[in-house]
Chains A and B, each alone.
Chain A
Amino acid sequence: MSKFRKSGGRKMAALSTASLPDIVFMLLFFFMSVTSMKETDYKVKIKLPQATEVKKLEKKSLVSYIYVGTPLAAHQAKYGSEPRIQLNDKISELFDIADYVESERSSRDESDAQQLTYSLKVDSDAKMGIVTDIKQELRKVQALKINYSTLKVERKGNY
């Protein structure tokens, strides 16, 4: 019974914590490499709509973003309170889209440029007019793969 019990109060040797920093650094590098910083600062307010039939965008490097929404309060004096287009960090006009597509394409090699997907992050309160205009601009420059960015919700009903 007392075969295993150590007799007397022998002290346990202190556990060496010398490797703790290494472990934490490993974790740190893991998180640094897998996570991506937010690409741009939003200058417009965007509340994405919800959808059930969403597909994931596989390759981040093959996605360009176009944001549409009401300018944030700090920018409203300059840009008004109607929904506007944001490309990169700037609030832009409709005719800037062609240049944006061109610059996005030229920053990638040729085979990737063909596969670029344009992710439209549009505020759910925006009107279709501005979205239709963007789609027409994209068609003009042969940028045909688009993705309406949405949040995922579960399908309701008995399917």
Chain B
Amino acid sequence: MAKQLGEINASSQADIAFLLLVFFLVTTSMSVDQGLNRTLPPPPDPNQPENTDKINERNVFVVLINKDNQLAIESELSEIDILTDRTIEFLTNPRGAADLSEQVKASKKLEEAMAKGPNAKEDEIKNYRRLVTECGDPDISKGVVSLQNDRGTKYETYIAVQNAIVAAFNICRDKFSKEYFGGKTYDELSSEDQKVVKLAIPLNISEAEPRSVK
């Protein structure tokens, strides 16, 4: 007859589980991935002729970074600290200066969108209409920020400049949404409302095809 086995003491099980728990707590990282989202332009199509719609020079805000990490705004040597303010000024053009971006009424954009006929996007028309009716037909900037950098530019500087430009757009969007959407910031809006604000302040950053910058 088999010998009667005594009950195994399970009180150390808790200790073992604690050890495992501490191991997982230490080795895993809770960090979330975050960063600046960007969409690259599709590759240039050799069969297609170059884009012929000329953008008026006053609507282009040129930001250059050279290989010594110096910054030029509209071909004037400058500092990163003022880039955000300069970009906001360029986009909103508060005093209607002749060398800053042109503004178009949302109602005009709505007409343009509807004139596309069968190619018109339902969504776009709907949101432009909301802009006209709910937000008092605001001015939409035609401005494009053109960012050019050298191959020798430090990545850190490039990101700082990118960040300063995106900050300008975000500040404009926040201001717009606070004014017309009950004091909420852009991030707090529903995705439908965000689309409307996006149309009012489109994120137009263009990066030139790579070449070297003096």
The interface of chain A, by Cβ under 8 A from chain B, is 17-18, 20-21, 24-25, 27-28, 31-32, 35-38, 49-57, 60, 63, 117, 119-120, 122-129, 131-132, 135-136, 138-140, 142-150, 152, 155, 157, 159
Interface string of B13-30 (1 = CB under 8 A from A): 110011011001101111
Q: Is the CB–CB distance between B17 and A55 below 8 Å?
A: no
Chain B residues contacting A152 (CB-CB under 8 Å) are 34
- A122 contacts which of B25, B39, B155 (Cβ < 8 Å)? B155
User: Which of chain A's residues has its CB closest to B151's CB?
Assistant: A129
- B125: CB under 8 A from chain A? no
- A63 contacts which of B11, B33, B36, B158 (Cβ < 8 Å)? B33
Q: Is the CB–CB distance between B163 and A31 below 8 Å?
A: no
User: Which of chain A's residues has its CB closest to B162's CB?
Assistant: A148
- B156: CB under 8 A from chain A? yes
Chain B residues contacting A24 (CB-CB under 8 Å) are 14, 17-18, 21
Known A54-B34, A155-B167; 18 more pairs at CB < 8 Å: A20-B14, A28-B21, A28-B24, A31-B25, A53-B167, A54-B35, A57-B33, A123-B155, A128-B150, A132-B210, A135-B40, A138-B40, A140-B43, A144-B39, A144-B40, A150-B34, A150-B159, A150-B163
- B38: CB under 8 A from chain A? yes
Q: How far is the CA of A18 from the CA of B154 in the complex (A)?
A: 60
Q: Count chain A CB atoms within 10 A of each CB in B27, B40, B171 and give the residue with the most.
A: B40
Known: A55-B37, A139-B40, A147-B37. A49 touches B21 (CB 8 A): no
- B8: CB under 8 A from chain A? no
User: Which of chain B's residues has its CB closest to A32's CB?
Assistant: B24
Q: Is the CB–CB distance between B149 and A128 below 8 Å?
A: yes
Q: How far is the CA of A87 from the CA of B152 in the complex (A)?
A: 23
Known: A53-B166, A148-B162. A128 touches B24 (CB 8 A): no
Q: Is the CB–CB distance between A52 and B163 below 8 Å?
A: yes
Q: How far is the CA of A122 from the CA of B166 in the complex (A)?
A: 19
Q: How many residues of B contact A (CB 8 A)?
A: 45
Q: Is the CB–CB distance between A119 and B33 below 8 Å?
A: yes
Q: Is the CB–CB distance between A150 and B154 below 8 Å?
A: no
Q: Is the CB–CB distance between A21 and B14 below 8 Å?
A: yes
Q: Is the CB–CB distance between B41 and A139 below 8 Å?
A: yes
For this complex, 8 residue pairs linking A to B, each with C-beta atoms less than 8 Å apart, are A28-B21, A35-B28, A36-B28, A37-B28, A54-B35, A128-B158, A145-B40, A148-B35
Q: How far is the CA of A135 from the CA of B41 in the complex (A)?
A: 10
Q: How far is the CB of A124 from chain B (nearest CB, A)?
A: 4
Chain A residues contacting B40 (CB-CB under 8 Å) are 135, 138-139, 143-146
- B32: CB under 8 A from chain A? yes
Q: How far is the CA of A53 from the CA of B151 in the complex (A)?
A: 24
Q: Is the CB–CB distance between A28 and B159 below 8 Å?
A: no
Q: How far is the CA of A64 from the CA of B154 in the complex (A)?
A: 24
Q: How far is the CA of A24 from the CA of B7 in the complex (A)?
A: 22
- B153: CB under 8 A from chain A? yes
Q: How far is the CB of A19 from chain B (nearest CB, A)?
A: 10
Q: Is the CB–CB distance between B155 and A139 below 8 Å?
A: no
Chain A residues contacting B13 (CB-CB under 8 Å) are 21
Q: Is the CB–CB distance between A21 and B160 below 8 Å?
A: no
User: Which of chain A's residues has its CB closest to B30's CB?
Assistant: A35
User: Which of chain B's residues has its CB closest to A54's CB?
Assistant: B34
Q: How far is the CB of B171 from chain A (nearest CB, A)?
A: 5
Q: How far is the CA of A147 from the CA of B160 in the complex (A)?
A: 14
